[in-house]
Structure 1
Amino acid sequence: MVGSIKSGKSTLTNALFGGDYLKRGAGVVTSIITRIQPGHGLRARLEFKTWDEINADINQALILFSSTPPEDGGGDFDINDEKDRLRLQHDLSRLNTDQLVSDDTLDPNCVLLTEYLSGYDRVKGLVSSEPVTHMFESDDFHKQKDFVGDESLAVYLRDVCLTLEAPRGFGENLEVADCQGSDSTNPLHLVTIQDYLIQTHLIIYVVSSRTGVRRADIRFLNLIKKMGLTKNILFVINCDFSEHETLADLKGLVGRVEKEVGMIFPAPCVFTFSALYNLFKSIDYKGGVEQAIARKDRRRLEQWREENDMVAFSDQQTEKFLKAVIQKVSMDRFALLLVSNLERISSISSGLRDWIRINQDLLKKDAGEVQEAFSKMGKRQEASDQITMVIKDTLDGTTLKLRRNLGNDVERFFDSKSGEIVQDLTRFIRSYNLSIKDYEKDLDASGFLPTLYRIFQTMQQTANLFIAESINPKLVNFVRQEEKKAGDVFEQVAGPYSLMIKDAVKQYQRTMKKLGIKIQDRPFKAVRSPDVDSVKSDARLNIPRLAGTIQYSTRIKTEAILRLSIYKTVKTVKKLLKKPVKEGPDSAMRSLEASVRGIKKQMQESIKDHFLDYKESLKYQYVFKLVDAMSIELYEALTDRMRAFTGNLSDMKGRIENEGLAKDRLAEELASMQTSLNVALKETRALEKLVMIDE
């Protein structure tokens, strides 16, 4: 669930699950994504940050922030140190409106620091030096809202996961996520959403009928498109019955939204209904004391029920929406997960059926004929084993070469001198134009350090936004290209070896025919390169998180203060020596100009370090592991196909040649196996029809 703040994402999620489980109208300071996993009973799992993570957050927010004289400082901030908390509280209380507000929004770092201090006393008993998880179940379940809905508590959370009864038709093997507002003023929140979106199979974008499509929506939808996530997206216009006089008025808005969204996503799939009405209706239908509708909400529900046309339209759209969602999260996803496995199961089952028939025919032959049959089939088995060895050697070599090539691609992409994204960021920072003269009033009103802090925050926020909107989409598309390269390489291997296996199968079938053994002719399906998404799902592989914080050093502050001191000292000495002082910017302004150059330089260094770490993580923890997993998957698919047609009869050979075992007993065992197999094949065929796989 994504969309702008207050668009109704949490309300829609609640309506889907039929209860007021998620906190509606939560704040915008934190970047918490509430994950919901269907299951039995109500359960909330809240994972808290460690003290080290909390202090790291605070110390990054404190870069250049301080109205405390530098000599009072010393070492990193520790939230468990009462003196540190009191000093920071004092510093925050001294900030004026100009220091707290920038570009008509509250400074995110000031808000972050304030919330950490406000919530400390309430969470200090829940946080530890190691990750801690707290569970809220049954009657205590709704206590999780106190944490998610209160910014001073939510800021301490690392992850929130709820377990709820699955909506009808959804199944239990899925996860629904209620994301932070996409128009948050903090770019890091946007990156957190990006991290989740690149893993998702379906995006539901919520637009409020009160506002329609806003500039923030257009901006975010363009970002989704740039990241190549246009394949599975549904749009919901969350309508407020109270905002629209007539159904015609509402439909007019729907037309405008479809037109505006259609400029980015051709032929968008748009549904219009009231999520809040659906939620109230669901709670009212279930009844019970635990989730009784408040009196004022009941009055709204009764009033809305009188809007016959509007309610009927909303109900129709809700039904269509649910069908579309269930189709995508249940049927389509079910087919995607089953298609390759069903094909393999069908092939193995058919091979087992041939194995049974061969053994049944062998039981009817005399000892000499059996010996001749096993001799000829043994030669065919040796040929199959040789092909398997060749496949293994070839795949090992291909995998090694592919790892090397993709590794080189990653190195080039992140190269600090010629790599695309580092160069883009370097150019952006160097060309970033910031007029120091615009901060003269801040300098006079607040002083040097607060003004430098504000400049740094502006530059940092701008750089983070550039990374989110321009760099991350390029990074995601690069990874997709590398995934496609891997798929193409393995497809080139799969094709020739499928033909080799096909030839071996034909020779095997001719041998069986010469021996008078009947096996059913069946089409040979070529083995394809493994599906990347399926391999990633099976191996639990994900692109490394984009939302890593770029670390900046307090050296920025130290150097700025040093520059200011030098300028002031030089000016004072010149006056004492009665030397002329050049006209121009005063010491503070000159120090600010020099500090901006220093900030730009350190930004470039920090960004290079950040992407160096990301490069290593991407290469070793994702790309190489993906290649290895695809190689193993392809090897198993090829060898399974070989075994399915040329089954190993060595175990049965000993039993048939053992005169102590009655042939009629072996025949009974084979007949029993055939009966069980026929049932399995019937069920497999039914599943194949269900997911529309052509045989």
Structure 2
Amino acid sequence: MTSTPDPAQLSSLHARLETMNNIVRGLRITIPEEQSKLDKWLATIHELLRFSDQFSLPVTVIGPVKSGKSTLLNTLLGQNILPMGAGITTTFVTAIHHGNDLHGEISLIPPDQADNLFQKSCHFLFASELGESEVSLFEPDDRQRIKQLLEDFSQKTTLTRHGSFDRDYQLLKNFLTGYGSLADYYQREQLNLSFSQEQLEQFRGFITNEPVSTFLEQATVFFPFTILPKYVVMQDCQGLDTPSPGQQALAIQQLATSPILIYVISSRMGLRQADYHLLEHLHDLGLASKLLFVLNYDLTEHPSREKMDEILNRCRQELAELGFNQPCYAFSALYHLYDRLRKENPLGKSEEQRWLFWQEESEKLELSATNWESFTARLLELTGKQADEALLQHLNSRIMHIASRAHYLITARKKSLSLNQEEIDSSVDNYEEHKEKLRQVEEQLGTTLSSITSQCEQEYFRKIESWFNQTEENGIRPLLHQIINNYQLPDDLLPAKNRNPLLPLKLLEQHFQQVIHPQLQEKLEISIHQFWQTLEKEIQSTYSSRCTSLFFLLEKATGNKVDNQERHNLPVPINWDSNLPKFSFSDPLAERFSTVSKFSLIGKLLSDKLKQLRKKRSWNNTISNQLQQQARNELKGRLLDYQERLKFLFLRPYLEKYEHLISDYLADFIHISTLEMSHQQNGLHAQGQQQEELFEILDNQENELEQLIESLNNFTITATNP
């Protein structure tokens, strides 16, 4: 029996955060002299409340075009929400969140961003025609001018199957076509659109129209989940073998941030050539362990259960040959969708006939139902393990940290109220000396902590440098060089006839940039993301162990005992969405090649051997080698620049944030001890009824706080059977 953590515990911790919030607000009345510290704790509690409310776990459904991804998602949701049908139906990544009712939301990219992309593509494709003049997507005359240039370009230039001009040529065509549908929204500055359940067909029109999807920044559907936990966000990606490079790149970006990837295979086709390429690509990116395979049966296509078993076994064997040993769950997503829809409302005539026809094939349905139950159980198990444990434990530790500090504050205040005047008078002379020693200890601890941070920084600077400078076969630098070395110029890239001697060189440069640069960026960003995840765990372990000596100094100076559990569970930075610096290889082409080398190549093209060279095209290899050499030379500097940005713009602020958290912890501890002495020294023991009432309030606050701390100490992640 599989199990998943109970998501109800999230609301339980949310209630404890509210309790802690009320206690701290009460302390602002009973201990007003500590208002600045209490306000800081309240700000932290509000941050945790916001964090728990907004927590989500992305689960991405991927696969080739027309494998049944949207159908599978509709089945999991129990509602026909996403578009299904012939052809490419999904052209933009669509996120499905839990909500109280069914509705959709669309965000359009800002006008300045759209205009900037439009201008860059125009000047890249039509540099000679436009010169220094500016063009705008939102000017009718400019749109008409670019439209005419595109028509001339398509007639004069051979657009090859290798996609040499797909990015800019197709992007400009999409901009011009899509803007016609969205002009009214931009003119009214209405960039955030909402669609009710009755308007959902209009929402589908946005995500199935490729020109319109060029303008989309975010597409979200809200629907009450019944099978999935409420914190899960399902993401429907367009087919990874889509002919649009821009949309394909957008889909690939979702993979690194999603801990669970559901890969859908069509039983009508089995593993196609596109699947082999995609799976090898995912394996190279280090994403193999995230995959959950689904073989989507077409019940009408297969005459018997034996044939279905045969297809499943062949699929499993081929996956094993590719290095994937995960289970493959085989079922008909469409059948289970109809089955769920039928329980709510009557199906359409054709759907009802198909459903009734399938009812006569009990063996097929039995196989599909068994695998469907196994798949949903495994999905619930994975979503629970990936989300609840990390979130609940993190929230619990942060609440405990604040509760412990508040308990120390109440205890110090109660002690000060309990001391009599005679005890205060007898120890006045000693308190000032002791406080001075504590100030010196605080400075010493701060110096030591800064030294620890500096040591860690230097150590992990070296680790980053070592990682970037690996020369082994699987090192990042050799892998990037291998991508460059594998580059080959396609034979049919150039037009058969051309009178412009500059065009061949320009075409080759454009092709090299559009083929190699995205591969380098993608490989490095995926690799550095995985490297940082490992490094982050090592930093937390190393930093915590090196801070152990600080606690001994703290205990010796204050005379108070540091809780052993806190000593091994230091507060860590909230860094759930770690935004690593982006690696960029997109310099203008003019900076890639020196003027001398360009004129040298042009001279060769204009020489007496021009006809012979153009006929044989023997200079292709020369230019290809020069392109590769220039890229290798520039890659070294780019990696060095990215390495420095990673060290100084990402690692250093992360360590500084860590240092500030520990420093605040130590300062709180010392301040509480100093506060206790200050209360005693200044004779802050009130007399009479006022003191008794205050003590009673503090006593009640302490009891409430101790109950909260006990519930946090007894906190364990329970499991429920899905």
TM more than 0.5: yes
Aligned to 1:518: none
The superposition leaves residues 514-562 of structure 1 with CA deviations (integer Å, 9 ceiling, x where unpaired) of: xxxxxxx98545324666xx7312xx4322356x673543799999998
Pair 8,342 (structure 1): closer, same or farther in 2 beyond 3 Å: same
Question: Which of 324-333 and 381-390 deviates more?
Answer: 381-390
User: 2:704 matched to 1:676?
Assistant: yes
User: 2:368 matched to 1:314?
Assistant: yes
State the alpha-carbon separation in 2 of the partners of residues 421 and 357 from structure 1.
55
Aligned to 1:491: 544
Pair 192,58 (structure 1): closer, same or farther in 2 beyond 3 Å: same
Please, what is the CA RMSD of the aligned residues?
A: 5.2
User: 2:684 matched to 1:623?
Assistant: no
Give the superposition deviation at 1:149: 0.3
Aligned to 2:307: 249
Aligned to 2:20: none
8 Å CA contact 2:489, 2:620 repeated in 1: no
The one-letter code of the counterpart of 2:152 is: D
State the alpha-carbon separation in 2 of the partners of residues 302 and 379 from structure 1.
90
Q: Could you tell me which of 213, 224, 232 is aligned with 1:154?
A: 213
State the alpha-carbon separation in 2 of the partners of residues 503 and 280 from structure 1.
70
Q: Could you tell me which of 329, 332, 344 is aligned with 2:383?
A: 329
User: 2:537 matched to 1:508?
Assistant: no
Q: Could you tell me which of 106, 109, 112 is aligned with 1:48?
A: 109
Give the superposition deviation at 1:102: 1.5
State the alpha-carbon separation in 1 of the partners of residues 637 and 192 from structure 2.
32
User: 2:57 matched to 1:5?
Assistant: no
User: 2:256 matched to 1:198?
Assistant: yes
8 Å CA contact 2:241, 2:274 repeated in 1: yes
The one-letter code of the counterpart of 2:299 is: F
**Identity of aligned pairs, percent?**
20
The superposition leaves residues 187-238 of structure 1 with CA deviations (integer Å, 9 ceiling, x where unpaired) of: 6555534433332333333333333344544444444444444555433333
8 Å CA contact 2:330, 2:368 repeated in 1: yes
Higher RCO by CA contacts (8 Å cutoff, separation 6 or greater): 2
Q: Secondary structure at the match of 1:43?
A: strand
8 Å CA contact 2:122, 2:146 repeated in 1: no
State the alpha-carbon separation in 2 of the partners of residues 380 and 639 from structure 1.
16
Aligned to 1:87: 148
State the alpha-carbon separation in 1 of the partners of residues 465 and 165 from structure 2.
39
The one-letter code of the counterpart of 1:162 is: V
Q: Could you tell me which of 122, 138, 163 is aligned with 2:222?
A: 163
Pair 91,492 (structure 1): closer, same or farther in 2 beyond 3 Å: farther
- Counterparts of 1:492-571 in structure 2, within 5 Å, are 492-498=545-551, 500=553, 507-508=559-560, 524-528=565-569, 535-537=574-576, 540-545=577-582, 550-553=586-589, 571=608
8 Å CA contact 1:499, 1:526 repeated in 2: no
The one-letter code of the counterpart of 1:625 is: P
8 Å CA contact 2:297, 2:332 repeated in 1: yes
Pair 441,487 (structure 1): closer, same or farther in 2 beyond 3 Å: closer
User: 2:329 matched to 1:275?
Assistant: no
Give the superposition deviation at 1:247: 3.4
8 Å CA contact 1:213, 1:257 repeated in 2: yes
8 Å CA contact 1:237, 1:273 repeated in 2: yes
8 Å CA contact 2:416, 2:679 repeated in 1: no
The one-letter code of the counterpart of 1:91 is: D
Give the superposition deviation at 1:44: 0.7
The one-letter code of the counterpart of 2:544 is: E
Give the superposition deviation at 1:151: 0.9
8 Å CA contact 1:187, 1:464 repeated in 2: no
The one-letter code of the counterpart of 1:687 is: F
User: 2:524 matched to 1:463?
Assistant: no
How many residues are treated as equivalent by the alignment? 653
- Counterparts of 1:266-665 in structure 2, within 5 Å, are 267-287=325-345, 293-330=347-384, 332-346=386-400, 349=403, 368=422, 389-403=443-457, 406=460, 425=480, 428-429=483-484, 432-434=487-489, 438-439=491-492, 442-444=495-497, 455-456=508-509, 458-464=511-517, 466-467=519-520, 470-480=523-533, 482-484=535-537, 486-498=539-551, 500=553, 507-508=559-560, 524-528=565-569, 535-537=574-576, 540-545=577-582, 550-553=586-589, 571=608, 584-586=612-614, 589=617, 618-619=646-647, 621-636=649-664, 642=669, 649=676, 657-661=685-689, 665=693
8 Å CA contact 1:40, 1:164 repeated in 2: yes
Aligned to 1:177: 235
Pair 8,370 (structure 1): closer, same or farther in 2 beyond 3 Å: farther
Aligned to 1:134: 193
Give the superposition deviation at 1:147: 1.7
8 Å CA contact 2:256, 2:526 repeated in 1: no
8 Å CA contact 1:556, 1:598 repeated in 2: no
Give the superposition deviation at 1:336: 0.9
Give the superposition deviation at 1:662: 5.9
State the alpha-carbon separation in 1 of the partners of residues 666 and 267 from structure 2.
53
Pair 552,148 (structure 1): closer, same or farther in 2 beyond 3 Å: farther
Gaps of 5+ in 2: 1-59
The one-letter code of the counterpart of 2:312 is: V
8 Å CA contact 1:272, 1:318 repeated in 2: yes
State the alpha-carbon separation in 1 of the partners of residues 160 and 420 from structure 2.
95
The one-letter code of the counterpart of 1:553 is: L
8 Å CA contact 1:355, 1:647 repeated in 2: no
Give the superposition deviation at 1:308: 3.0
Give the superposition deviation at 1:402: 4.2
The one-letter code of the counterpart of 1:272 is: A
Aligned to 1:578: none
The one-letter code of the counterpart of 1:16 is: L
Give the superposition deviation at 1:94: 1.8
Aligned to 1:513: none
8 Å CA contact 1:54, 1:156 repeated in 2: no
Aligned to 2:92: 32
Q: Secondary structure at the match of 1:272?
A: strand
Pair 663,597 (structure 1): closer, same or farther in 2 beyond 3 Å: closer
Pair 356,446 (structure 1): closer, same or farther in 2 beyond 3 Å: same
Gaps of 5+ in 1: 510-520, 572-580
State the alpha-carbon separation in 1 of the partners of residues 377 and 617 from structure 2.
63
Pair 634,318 (structure 1): closer, same or farther in 2 beyond 3 Å: farther
Aligned to 1:517: none
Q: Secondary structure at the match of 2:222?
A: strand
Q: Could you tell me which of 183, 204, 218 is aligned with 1:145?
A: 204
Give the superposition deviation at 1:318: 3.2
The superposition leaves residues 278-332 of structure 1 with CA deviations (integer Å, 9 ceiling, x where unpaired) of: 3333333343xxxx85443343333334443333443343333333333443465
8 Å CA contact 2:442, 2:670 repeated in 1: no
Pair 17,365 (structure 1): closer, same or farther in 2 beyond 3 Å: same
Aligned to 2:9: none
8 Å CA contact 2:412, 2:675 repeated in 1: no
Q: Secondary structure at the match of 2:560?
A: helix
8 Å CA contact 1:235, 1:271 repeated in 2: yes
